[in-house]
Amino acid sequence: MNGQTLRNNIKLPNSIGSSLDSLLTWIFGIVMLIAAIPHWENPYYFLGSVYAYKIVDSGIGQMVAISLPFIQLVLAVLLLTRILTNAAHWVSMFLFSCFAVVQTVSFLRGLDISCGCFGPNHETTIGFQTLFLVYTLLFLSVIRNLLCLFKTRSYLANRETSETQGMNH
């Protein structure tokens, strides 16, 4: 089975693909917003959460604590307003990947710490619940981005075929 056949077999009806994309865009935008606001409002708590993971030194920890809420807020705005949506989805997938790795490593190290995901009012110890959430978000993000990638490649292939046929006539 070559790449072209694989792409042709993964097609979803446009209405389902568009609905899924819209739903995931809203979900990821809301998640980013819900995570960004408490980090923005209580930066010292968030800095403590970053330090609790014991993965980075204090300088990098400060950069993470300063930049991550801003990045999450920008992503939320981009996703919820549907501006630069594809770029926002790819960056979101990267963040979900980072969150998954950091939480998994911390869980395997046996750290009994809050994930710090949604601020001090939602202290949830890293465990199966937080891992399930972050891996679900990551999985959905990967699926969304792959579907978008296949759709774009299919569109470009069809356009190239149309242009080639148009030149032959």
User: What are the two backbone dihedrals, phi and then psi, of residue 116, each rounded to the nearest 5 degrees?
Assistant: 75, 10
Quickly state the pLDDT bin for 150 (edges 50, 70, 90).
Answer: confident
Asked, for residue 9, whether it belongs to a domain, the answer is no
CB neighbour list of residue 144: distance below 8 Å, 6 or more residues apart: 20, 21, 24, 89
Domain assignment present for residue 3? The answer is no
Q: What domain count does the chain have? A: 1
Neighbouring CB atoms inside 10 A of 106's CB total 20
Tell me whether residue 85 is in a domain: yes
> Could you tell me if residue 125 is inside a domain?
yes
Is 46 a domain residue?
yes
48 or 119: which carries more pLDDT confidence? 48
Host domain of residue 107: 17-160
What is the mean pLDDT of the segment spanning 36-46? 92
| CA–CA gap between residue 97 and residue 114 (Å, rounded) | 18
Residue 94 has pLDDT above 70, yes or no: yes
In a domain, 4, yes or no: no
Structure tokens at 169: 């006539």
Does any domain span residue 6?
no
Does residue 156 lie in a domain region?
yes
Q: Is the pLDDT of residue 20 over 90?
A: no
